Amino acid sequence: GSEPISLGAQSGLLRGFALPLQDQLLDAIQDIALEAPWRQLFTPGGKPMSVRTTNCGTWGWHSDRQGYRYVAHDPHTGKPWPQLPELLQQLARRAASQLGFSDFEADACLLNCYEPGAQMGLHQDRDEQSFAAPIVSVSLGLPAQFLWGGTQRNERPARIELLHGDVVVWGGVDRLRFHGVAKLAAGKHPQLGAQRINLTLRHAGN
């Protein structure tokens, strides 16, 4: 494959890394959503998020009036989250190793579905037990402008376009950088139609 495009000392973009697996990934996402349906979450302050989410793996990220946290059961069905497919585990491990993170083992995969107009404000990911492991993200469907800030909220973020099949690895000194996604522009993707699906693979437990 091609060299990672550097986003920071320990972060990089692997253009098209997931393209060879796109059909298998879309099948896996469909299966996950049958067991754990897409849903709209609410912030602890009671605001609806503009993305729809679901999870697979041992831990799933959840948000409601009680706060942001990882839970072992889907609050919507009461069942454990669907298993993390081996396909995703291996993809994340191969991507992480390209950035120098060996033996990455994801125990959580958050799936975010964006429709035109959906966005994600600048935030840090701090709900995991440890920040030692990297995060691997897979983008599918419509392109998005990813906002890549610093370790302080007031730093002006860079904009990076993420395309169908792109994989990004973020870790080490870049793990607590502020980031977000600009409002998704209208469009139709050949496979996914008017949506973008992002998968984030993490080590959330201990």
Known binding residues for substrate: 61, 68-70, 127, 153
DSSP 134: -
The answer to whether the beta carbons of residues 186 and 142 sit under 8 Å apart is: no
Q: For residue 186, what are the CA distances in angstroms to 38, 105, 114, 128, 194?
A: 21, 35, 11, 33, 7
Binder among 84, 88, 109, 120 for ligand MD3 (CB under 6 A): 120
The answer to whether the beta carbons of residues 25 and 109 sit under 8 Å apart is: no
Euclidean distance between the first and the last CA atom of the chain, given in angstroms as a whole number: 32
Which residue's CB comes closest to Fe ion? 125
Q: Is residue 175 part of the contact set for ligand MD3 (CB under 6 A)?
A: yes
Binder among 74, 107, 125, 174 for Fe ion (CB under 5 A): 125
Helix (H) / strand (E) element for 144: namely strand 144-148
Q: How far apart are CA 118 and CA 182, in angstroms?
A: 8
The listed partner (ligand MD3, Fe ion, none) that binds 89, CB under 5 to 8 Å by sort, is: none
Both tokens assigned to 135: 């995060």
Binder among 54, 58, 89, 112 for ligand MD3 (CB under 6 A): 112
Which CB atom, from 77 or from 151, has the smaller least distance to Fe ion?
151
Number of residues that bind Fe ion (CB under 5 A): 1
Q: Is residue 195 part of the contact set for ligand MD3 (CB under 6 A)?
A: no
Residues interacting with ligand MD3, by CB under 6 A? Answer: 110, 112, 120, 125, 135, 137, 168, 170, 174-175, 177, 179, 181, 198, 200
Residues interacting with Fe ion, by CB under 5 A? Answer: 125
